[in-house]
Amino acid sequence: MTNQRIAVLVVEDEALIRMGIVDELELAGFEVMEAANAAEAIDQLAANPLISVMFTDVDMPGGVDGLKLAAAVRDRWPPIKIIVTSGHRTVNVDALPTETRFLP
């Protein structure tokens, strides 16, 4: 019997912050994929059906921020657990898709 690690997608536009999060999650035993924006995140999710958790920042460049990305992922991949985070602002729980958590 093999232990399959939980696959996590980290979505963060700041490269150094993303690298730190990825390192910590890998040290904790997770299999980690990375994306710098929402478009890359959607590509990663489409290519990697084993991803079961997405950890995304709220503020990202481009037309889709982390909240819009969370809503799109919830609609397209309902089983994926979603954690939204921000170091700059607080998000009202009502602004999050169902079963999404906010981590300040």
Q: Residue 37 belongs to what domain range?
A: 33-103
Distance CA 57, CA 2 (A): 32
Burial class (CB in 10 A: 0-12, 13-18, 19+), 45: buried
Assign residue 54 the CATH number of its domain. 3.40.50.2300
pTM of the shown model: 0.92
Query: Could you read off the pLDDT of 13-33 as tens digits, one per residue?
Result: 999 999 999 999 999 999 999
Separation between Cα atoms, residue 17 and residue 56, nearest integer Å: 12
Average per-residue pLDDT for the chain: 93
CB contact at 8 A, 67 and 59:
no
In a domain, 16, yes or no: no
63 located within any domain? yes
Whether residue 2 lies inside any domain: the answer is: no
